[in-house]
Amino acid sequence: MADCLDTKEKSYRPARLNRVIVCDDLNFFYDEPELIEMKNLWKKGMSVADMAERFRRDPDEILVALIHLARKNEIYARKRGLK
């Protein structure tokens, strides 16, 4: 296996082989008003499953959107977690 230099991190790693796009069956595009509504529903305690039903989306798509909002410090952990 050929090695290559990752110039961004200045470290060596094996060359990539057989790349796979993960979760390519999911839709991670949102309109801003959807994210605002999702943020409000999270703060009100709505579960991921209920949000998925409301937005007619896969629960995994909702989880990724919530991770996005958490990384931007727009939502925070709840006592009940994802439920």
Q: How far is CA 76 from the centre of its chain?
A: 15
Separation of alpha carbons 65 and 80, rounded Å: 18
Q: How far is CA 21 from the centre of its chain?
A: 15
Separation of alpha carbons 24 and 68, rounded Å: 18
Model pLDDT for residues 7-45, shown as the tens digit of each residue: 566 667 777 788 888 899 999 999 999 999 999 999 999
Whole-model pTM: value is 0.74
For the chain, the first-to-last Cα distance in angstroms comes to 45
CATH number of 23-83: 1.10.10
Model pLDDT for residues 54-80, shown as the tens digit of each residue: 999 999 999 999 999 999 999 999 887
Residue boundaries of the structural domains of the chain: 23-83
Please report which helix (H) or strand (E) contains residue 61, including its range.
helix 59-71
